[in-house]
Structures are given as structure tokens and as C-alpha cells.
Structure 1
Amino acid sequence: MTLVHDETTTSVEPPHPPAGCEPVAPARSKRWHPVVSWMVVSPWAVLACCLVCFVLGVRSIAGSSFNEYGLLAGASPLYPASIVLAAVAFGIALRQGNTTATVGAIVAMIVCQRLPRAISTDAPIYSWTYKHLGVVDHIQQSGSLAHGVDVYNGWPALFAVTAWVADLTGLSPIDIAHWFTPVYHLFLAGIVYAGARAWRLTRDEGLAATFLVVTLNWVEQDYFAPQAIGMLLAVAMLVPIGLSRDRAVGTAPIMILFGALAITHQLTPYWVLGAACLLVLGRMLKPWWIALVMGAILGGVLLYNGDVLSGYTLFSGDVANNAATRGGGHHGMAGQVFSSAVMRVVTIATWASTVAVLILRWRRGQPVRALAVIALSPILILGGQSYGGEAVFRVFLYSLPGCAFVLAPGLLAGVRAGRIRFAGTFAALGVATALAAQAGSANWYTNLIGRDQVSSAGEVLAGSVFPAYVTPLVPGWPERPTGDYVRFAEFTHAFDNALMFQPGLAGRAFDSESDYREFMAVITGRNRPTFVVLSEPMRGFGAFFGLFPAEAIDNLNRRMTSDPRWEVVDEKPGTWVFLYRNDTR
């Protein structure tokens, strides 16, 4: 690890803003084609078109069929058009210096990309969202934590606050989770802008940085989860950190925010602590001892959760393995392969552009070291953790605000430059928006959850058959949606592991007696009752990621229905719950 000293802390500030390029005035009007000229002076007209396309296009989402290329391909073309138009409106408004329209375009992008999560579904998406709702429900019912049962009870900030808000307001936690994503992004946008200003970007550069974070964030960590709140707190910390590079003015806010972060999420505070240490050692953050306080806070939380973490690998120096993604060995549908490639393109292009700008600024003698730390330090995560095959996704997520701070001045200068550079910047903005939207919505159909499924899952956990396993074929079932999950998890933490994790079952179509015998060998070997759950969303999930053929659901359903050892205990549209009582104990 190489630590560097930022000379800006001991020398007179240069005449240009430390964040990047010099302030750029709005472009002077030029002679354009009449249609283009009309659009240049009318960002509100473009936003109006965006809104019309969104209202008409979003209506097609709820009833759309599974598409292996994701939501943009499965919905009406008007829906992706609304996303592109939001980017067009932003570019025009930023070129003009129209602050109100620029903010309107940022909000429009949030609405177009994130609001469908709330208005086009009847329940929160992602099966793992419900693990978090189960903790909230347990707190509401018992008034306490089930510490030691799972990692979530060891980092309870989000769950405890949600339980308190739900009790105080009468709101249902599942409704809070359902509307979480669009509201979260509005808060994130505001905090990113504040952070940009604290890092000495101009007003318009700050708006450009905010738009980049809103638009390029394809990592699906914006649902009701500790990671989302952890990211919000981490970005919020960039505000006092940015203000404390020359003199200690944000010490108390940094410690308060870090304390909240330390009890919210397992991984995020380690990145923040690492970045703070680099800044302190490079004399780019004051006071120097604040890193020691942050380390002590994190150490205390680690000791408190020592029993929970004993079964996990806390540190691994295997960078190649840590950078590998979960399920990377499976070959999914062509749409999944395409979308994965798009994700890599967006990620690599963002990082490469950031590094190129940092090098250019360094060669011009402009300060780059502090910005380089917040933009590039997340890569250090790969030297310590695989985080269940998700570490590389978190690296991009954590690096995005810093990268946006670096890239924003160039984006502003580009949209306010002459015709050729403006056209190139505008095209790059449109392509980046389209690619990021594709990456962020590619898994839409594989992660849908319905209210009927939530109801069934709650009934199974509240039932009299216990102890028991609750086994979905693949993720696509509300996992642990109520506080009743605690008694099952106390029986075994793996009570609801999907069959995809069982050796020898992945990839089987269950169209032969040998496949079914392998399946039953797993079930009978448990010596406990087992619920097996099949659903329509699992069909798309398994096929999309290459875990099971699409026909595996029908084949297994047919064999279990005809096998007298299985009892159908719940059947709702698109969902089947079977019970094998296994009374041979």
C-alpha cells in the first residue's frame, strides 16, 4: 500500500477550484438547425415528453411477460424512451445553466428508473428483502433482538428504526419497503450534491455529479436493506470529511455518522475506515486521531458480534477469488450474458475515465490525491473479502460518488463546449444512460415477488409443522418474511437454503427417475419435515442464471403431485407449497 502526501494541505490554494475544471459559463447561443435550436432553449419541453412517455410506458410493466433481456425489452418502448429523454433534458438544461430544469431532470431520472419498483409491483421485489422484514417483525413482536441467530440481528440499526417508525406512524413495514427505493434515491441525490459542494465543486458541477450517481448506479443495492442505508451514511460522511481536509471542522458529525454506520452494515464501515486512514496518513483529513476513534468504534462492534462472525472468513488475501462473482461458473441465457457484459462495460468505463481524468489533472499540477482516495480506495476491499461473491459489485457502488466528483467538471465543460465536443459529450451521456439502465433493470423479471407468495410464506412459518426445512428450488420466494423465522433459524440457520446450494442438484431438469431420486435423497436424508416451494418466478430465475432449465419447475411439480409421500399444503396462482412429513424419526 502506497501512502502519499497531498500538498494542498500545506500550500496556498491554486486559483482554480480544487475539484477539477475552472467554472464554465453557459454556452453562448449558436446557429443551430431550427428544431435543435427549439430544443436547446426548451429543456422543460423535453421533460414534458419524458413524463408523457413514462406515464404511457410504465402502464405496460405490470402486465409484461418475462423477457430474458430485462425490463427495457419487456416493457413498452416508451418506457426506455422516457429514461433517455431524462438524460437529454439534463444535458440541455446543464448547457443552458438552467438550475431548476437541471434539478427537474435529476428527479425525472429517479422517477423513470426507480418509481416502477413501487407502482408496477404489488409487493417489494427481491426474495432477500423479506429477510430484513422478518427482523423488523421480530423486533415489533418481542421488543428485542434475536442476537446470534443471524448476522442481521448483530447490525440492527435499520430494523430497529423501521420497527419504531412503523409503530409510531401505523405504517406497515412491507409498505415502507415497497416505497423505499424511489424515496431512498431522492435522499441519496441530495446528499451526493452536498458532498460534491463540500469537496469544492461548483453548483453546476455538483449537479452533474449528482446526475452521474443517479444514472450510473446499476448495482441493485437500493432496496430495503442495511447496505442501502450504509451507503447513504457513507456518502453523508463525505460532507464533513470534505470540509475537514484543511482544518478539523467536522469531527463530531464524522464520529456520529460512523457510529450509526458501524451498527448498520457489516462491510461499508471498513471501506470508510480504510479511506479515512489513507486521508489521515496523507495529511488530507484532520484531526489525525479521528481514525483511531473510528477504529475503536468498529472494533467494539466486531467484538460484540464475535460469536456471529465465527463461522465466516473475515479476511482473505485471494484477490482473484474475492473479485469473482457469485454464480459466475453458470452459463445463463443469452440475455443474462449480454446484461453481464453491459454491467462490465459501464463499470470499467467509469473507472477508466476516472483514472484518465486523475492522470490529466496530475499532469496539469492540479490536486488529485484526496479525490483519488475516495474514488479508488474501494478496490482495497478485494484484498480482504469476497462478501459472498458480491465484493466487486460493492467496489463499484462505493467508488461511484468519488468517480462522479472526478468526472463532473469534465461533463460540465463538455456540454458547454463547441458543437463537436458538445455532440460527443451528449452522445456519451446518452449511451452511458442507456447502458446503465439496461444493467440496472436486467434482473427485473427474475426478482418479482407477489403478495400471495408473501402470504404463503408467512403461513408456513406460523404453522404447527416445526422444526422443519422450508426449501425453495431457487431464490424466488419471500425468505423469512415474519418474526416466526427466528424459531426455524434457531433450529438450523440453513433451514431455508435453496436447492441450488445442494451438491449434485444444480442443472437438473427432473425429467428422469434418476433426477427425482437425487432430489428425494436430499429430502429424506434430513430426518425432518420439509416444505418444498415452487413458483413461476423461480422458472425465470433458474433459466436466466443457468441454474435449472425452465421446465424443471413443471417436471418437479408433476412428479411431486403424483408421489403420495408429498402433500400439497398451499396452492395459489403461480405458487405451490408441498410438505414431506418424514415421520421416520
Structure 2
Amino acid sequence: MSGQPAAEQSAAEQTPAPAARTRADVVRVWAARVVLPVSVALWLLSLRSVPLDKMRDLGLLQVLPPLFWVATALLTLGFLLALSDRRTHSAWLAGYVFALIALLHATPTLLYPTLRYSWAWKHLAVIDAVNRHGGEVPNADKFSVYNEWPGFFDLHAMFLQITGLDSAVGYASWTPPVANVLLLAPLLLVYRSVTRDRRLVWGAVWIFYSCSWVGQDYFAPQSFAFLLFLTVIALLYRQLPSSALPRPDPDRRDGWPPGLLVVVVVIVAAIVVSHPLTPLMLITAMAMLSFPRRSRRLALPVLIAAVVLTAVWDATVARSYISVNITGVIESLTEPDKNVTSGLAALGDAAPGQILLSWVDRGLSAAVAVLALAGLLTHRWTWRTGLPLLAAAPLPLLAVNAYGGEMLFRAYLFALPAAAFLVAVLLLPPSDRRGVGRTLAVYPVLLAMLGGLVFGYFGKEALNQYTLKEVAAARYVIENAPPGSTIVSLTADVPDLDLDYEKHRRVQLAYQDEDDLRQMVVDPLEGVTGFIYGATEEKPAYIVLTRAQDMNLYVTGALPADVSERLQAALAGAPGFTRVYDNGDAIVYRYVTPPPD
């Protein structure tokens, strides 16, 4: 390796001597230090008056004031100024990254009065049910999958019991910024194990956060499992003989220290019991890293542990779910093309802004793939890092299962940590000595990445945010519905309506089969009545109509946008239906089947 040209040597071998500072260097250093607090202050000022009620097709993109975008552009410029000086202390670079995380992921938390995203509310309901039942929840119906991968929920249930908190809703809102902050440690460990070039390390970190648009960082098992996945990867890279970091035990032969291997196996077990997809991602990653001889002794034990633990878990605890769904997995093996394109379909009925948003997401993902490939081809030393193998590791799973139309996006997420480094190598090559000029030349590229990210991350916030009135309506239903009641909504966008899910029957009309959907379009009242006919005083039905559901229909096109209005008009005079709650953002009807004439 030492006989290769300098441009092709690993950055781990390059330790450039700092040149004497010029007056321009001093100005640049102080500019970078001033820009950080100024951009943070501008960001906070921009959040003082954001008209959330005006969000439509493009969510927060339509209502965030110009000052927010000025802060974003200024923060990116300041980061590049700091990055252009090799003597910039890592604390300043870390400060810029923390500010980027806050700007992207704390903005909704600071703006919204309560927890965002319907799935996060579902997970709160599962934790509540686990606490009430002391473990597995009976009569869970569609929620039974959470009984079979309970790790995340049991952990939070235990935390609530220890702390005496009634619910996780208070801290769940902060999961996106906290989860992204926690990802920084394993990211840095991976990158620092590959190179000593701090500019390349922090550039890769910035690119990762600038391109992570998939949004799997909310209060969910997948965000927890992804953090554990990346931690395993980081610990493995730390032990590689080629690691740019000092070996923790220079005299030890290649392989895991016994104590650390136990820790890694425990982390693998936590992944296996928490999420069905992440263990498969870990298996493919370890299989890829088992090919190079230099990492084989480290990857093989983890691969064996992941395969054995996943097989045992799926054959025992998760057996009922696996046995029901294994047929679909086998069938999907014969249709790999559909698995790959499944997440790219069904755009015809979406709002115009959502179609634009989807194409921007695709463009950013494709750009990352192209830039990463270019970085790999133009800097051949990256082959020896194993990162190209990690970037390619999720691809085999695309041929196995569509994962509800999300496999393409999940594959992108798991490939991104490695791909971000390869992109950084292309944009900020370690052999470059041109300083600030070349570094600032990538400013438009980083701004474009952030522009693509905010489309994917902020573009659907019109239906992801809820008002306190919507929460109050759901609480009214849960507190007044007797066990065995049927609770009907148009979509899943009703916060806290899944509370006590094992006691009630839930119907979400927009997700029924094609015949039922046609009936809803032709006659909304008849479409609803077909699911609740036979309701009694002891087991009535409740129909919940809310602002967020209306927005969901408009944004996604799951049903025509006027269905909610027509249904509300029909319910007002229909026999058996009584309006029992109305606060402006939500209306609740109670239904008891009227006696025959």
C-alpha cells in the first residue's frame, strides 16, 4: 500500500503538517465561530410565528418563514468555513452538526403542541397496554405483531414503571433529535476507524444527516434497532487491524476480545427481539464483511450469532406471525422487480405537491448512489475500507420482500452511513491541498442535498401534526366507549385513538378492500353502516372525523377529498347516529342500530 501514489493512499496514512496561518485564515476561523451562534439564533427566531394551519401539499415547506432558510444556508456555509481549516477543533465541527440536527429534527417538536405522526401514537398505545397487562397483550388483533417483537415496548414500559411516569408522550416528541444525536457516536467511530482526516470524517457526518430523508427516526422500534445496528458496525470497525484509531490491545491477535464479543451478542439479541427487518439487514452486512480476510474473524462470529438468534426467535416467539406471512415472502421471491418498485407506485391520486415531493426524494436517493459510486471509482483506496460492501449489503433484501412498499427506502437508509463516506471522499478528497477554495466549491452541492432532504422530511407534515383538540376528541371516545365498541375513522390519523386497542374493534375505512372503497365513494353513509350495523347500547359504534383525516385524504388521495364532507352531511340526519362531541377540529358520532320498522 505504501508504494501507491499519494492520491490513492488511504487517508489514514496522510498526516499533513499545518501551514502558518495568514490573516485570511484568521478571518475565516473567526467567521466560522460567529456564524454558528448567529445561525442558531436566526433559526429560533424563525419559529416564533409559523402558521401551521396553512400547511397543505408541501407541509412545513409552505409555512416556514424565509429566516429559517437563511439560517439553514448560513449554517451550511459556516460548517464549510470551519471544515476548510484543518486546525479547527472538533468541538466546533460537532457544534455545527448538533445545530443541523436541531434545525432539521427539533423544528417540528418545537412548533407542534403535541406528538407528531400517527405511528408514534400507536406505539404509545402498545407501551400502555404492555404495562397494563404486565407483558403480552391479549386480543391484540392487528397489533399482535408487537407481542412478537416486544423489545422496544418492554424497555419503555420498564422505564415508565421505574420513573413513575404515566405515559411516554412527554419524551416521545423529542425522539427524532435525540435519536439523531445518538447516531453521531457510532458514525464517528466508523469514519475515524477508516481515516485520520478530520475534514473527511466530519464531511461524511454532515452528508449523512443532509441526506437521511426517510424519516425512520421517530418514536418506533426501527429507530431503536437502527441505532443498535450502527453500533455493532462501529464496534467491528474499531477492532479492525487496519483501523486508523490506536488499537485498544496492540498485542492481541485479530478477533474480538471475549468481553466485547459478549456485549456485541447482547446488542444483536436486542435487535432480534425488537424489529423483524433490522436483523436481516445485520445478517447481510455481516455476510458482506465476511468476504475480506482482514474483517472475517470479526464479522463471522457476529454473523453466526445474528443467524442463530434470528432463527430461534422466529421459530418460537414470532412463529405465529412468520407462519402466516411466510407464503407472501416466498411469492415475493419470484417477483423481485415488483419489490424494488413497490415504494414508487400509487402516485396518481396524490396532491400535486406530493407528486413533486416523491420525485425529489427519488432524485436525492439517486444522486447519493451516483456520487457514492463515483467516489468509489475515483478513489480506489476506499475498496479496502469495506464501506462499499456495507453500502451494497441491503440490496439483496430488495429481491426478498417489498416490506409493505417500504423496502427500497429502508435499503437506502441502511446503505446511507457507508454511502455518505464515499460521497464525502468524492466532494472532499483527502489528498486535496487547495484549502478553502475547494471546500467552499461544494457549498451548492450541500445546499442541494439539504433542499432534497427537507422535501422528504417536512413535506408531509400537514397530516403528521395534530392539534390538542384532536387529542381531546380521541380521549373522549376512549373514556366513554364500553369494551367491545367499534371505533371507525377514515384514516389512521387520529392521535391516541388506539389507546386500549385490545378492548375495541378499530375500522379505518381508507384501508379496506377495493369493493368497500368504491362503496365509500358512491355512498359514504352506506359504506360506514356496512361495518357497524348491529351495534347495541352495550357495544355501540363511534365514528370519528377530524381535521388531520381530511388532510390525509387531500394529500394522499386514499379517498376523494370530499368523502369526509359528504359523510358528515349524511350522518347529521341518519337514523341511529347521534353527534356526541364537536370541538371544531373533530366530530364524534355515536351509533346504535335502530330497531326494525
TM-score range, shorter chain: 0.7 to 0.9
Tell whether the 8 Å contact from 2:576 to 2:594 is kept in structure 1 after alignment: no
Preserved CA contact (<8 Å) 2:200 2:425 = yes
**Structure with a larger share of its residues in helix:** 2
Q: For 1:573, which of 571, 581, 584 is the aligned residue? A: 584
Change (3 A) 1:251 1:535: same
Match of 2:199 among 173, 183, 204: 204
SS in 2 for 1:122: coil
- Equivalent pairs counted in the alignment come to 563
Q: Where do 1:14-413 residues align within 5 Å?
A: 18=10, 22=14, 41-61=30-50, 63-97=52-86, 98=88, 99-146=90-137, 149=140, 150-171=144-165, 172-200=167-195, 202-246=197-241, 247-249=254-256, 250-283=260-293, 284-287=295-298, 288-303=300-315, 304-312=317-325, 313-315=328-330, 316-317=332-333, 318-323=335-340, 324-325=342-343, 328-362=346-380, 367-368=383-384, 370-413=386-429
Unpaired segments ≥5 residues, structure 2: 242-253
How far apart, CA to CA, are the structure 1 residues paired with 2:196 and 2:267?
23
Q: Offset at 1:55?
A: 1.4
Contiguous gaps of at least 5 residues in structure 1? 1-7
Aligned partners of 1:308 and 1:227: how far apart in 2?
Answer: 18
What per-residue deviation string (whole Å, max 9, x for no partner) do you get for residues 286-330 of structure 1? 143432222111111111211123332344222222221286254
Aligned match for 1:424, one of 426, 441, 449? 441
Q: After alignment, is 567-576 or 180-189 more displaced? A: 567-576
Q: Cα 1:515–1:506, aligned 2, differ >3 Å: closer, same or farther?
A: same
CA contact (8 A) 2:39 2:72 kept: yes
Q: Which of 412-421 and 371-380 deviates more? A: 412-421
Following superposition, the deviation at residue 22 of structure 1 comes to 4.5
In 2: Cα distance, 1:296 partner to 1:417 partner: 51
Deviation at 1:154, TM superposition (A): 1.5
- The separation in 1 between residues aligned to 2:210 and 2:593, in whole angstroms, is 51
Counterpart of 1:400, as a letter, is L
- 1:371 deviates by 1.1
Q: Kindly tell me: are residues 515 and 155 of structure 1, through their superposed partners in 2, closer, same or farther at Cα, counting changes over 3 Å?
A: closer
Distance 2:3 2:38 in 1: 48
Structure 1 residues 382-405: Cα deviation after superposition (integer angstroms, max 9, x where no partner): 111111111111111111111122
Counterpart CA distance in 1 for 2:583 and 2:355 is 32
In structure 2, relative to structure 1, the CA distance for the partners of 1:76 and 1:282 (3 Å cut) is same
What letter corresponds to residue 154 of structure 1 in structure 2? E
- Measured against aligned partners, the alpha-carbon deviations of 1:58-97 in whole angstroms (never above 9, x if no partner) come to 1233645123122122121112322222222211111123
CA pair 30-332 structure 1, distance change in 2 beyond 3 A: farther
Match of 1:557 in 2: 568
C-alpha contact (below 8 Å) 1:507/1:547 kept by paired residues: no
Hey, what does 2:248 align to over in structure 1? Answer: none
Using the TM superposition, give the Cα deviation of residue 570 of structure 1 relative to its aligned residue in structure 2, in angstroms. Answer: 2.5
- Measure the CA separation in 2 of the matches of 1:38 and 1:158: 49
Counterpart AA for 1:517: E
Cα gap change, 1:260 to 1:125, in 2 (>3 Å): same
Moved more, 332-341 or 402-411: 402-411
Deviation, 1:262, is: 0.7
Deviates more, 1:143-152 or 1:423-432: 143-152
Q: What's the C-alpha RMSD, in Å, of the aligned pairs?
A: 3.2
d(CA) in 1 for partners of 2:255, 2:378: 30
CA distance in 1, matches of 2:211, 2:303: 30
8 Å CA contact 1:568–1:578 kept in 2: the answer is: yes
Conservation of the 8 A alpha-carbon contact between 2:387 and 2:418: yes
Amino acid paired to 1:452: K
What is the CA-CA distance between 1:443 and the residue it aligns to? 0.7
**Following the alignment from structure 1 to structure 2, what is the Cα–Cα distance between the partners of residues 394 and 201?**
30
Give the conservation status (yes or no) of the 8 Å contact 1:375–1:402.
Answer: yes
Given that 1:192 and 1:401 are in contact with CA atoms closer than 8 Å, whether structure 2 keeps it comes out as: yes
TM-score (norm 2): 0.85
**Cα distance change on mapping 1:335 and 1:526 into 2, 3 Å:** farther
Match of 1:501 in 2: 512
Conserved in 1, the CA contact under 8 Å of 2:14 and 2:196?
no
**Percent of aligned pairs with the same residue?**
22
In 2, distance between residues paired with 1:577 and 1:310?
39
Contact 2:486/2:532 (CA < 8 Å) preserved in 1?
Answer: no
* Contact 1:66–1:540 under 8 Å retained in 2: no
Residues 354-374 of structure 1 show CA distances to partners (whole Å, capped at 9, x for unaligned) of 112112233xx6534721111
Deviation of the 1:337 alpha carbon = 1.0
Shift of 1:183: 1.4
Q: Deviations over 1:513-554 (max 9, x none)?
A: x45434444544999853222111122211111223433322
How far, CA to CA, are the matches of 2:563 and 2:386 in structure 1? Answer: 52
Alpha-carbon distance between aligned partners in 2 of 1:25 and 1:568, rounded to the nearest angstrom: 76
SS of the residue 1:221 aligns to: coil
Quick one: which amino acid aligns to residue 373 of structure 1? L
Q: 1:92 to 1:508 in 2, by over 3 A?
A: farther
Could you tell me whether the CA contact under 8 Å between 1:319 and 1:382 is conserved in 2? yes
| Cα distance change, pair 566–39 in 1 and its aligned pair in 2 (3 A) | farther
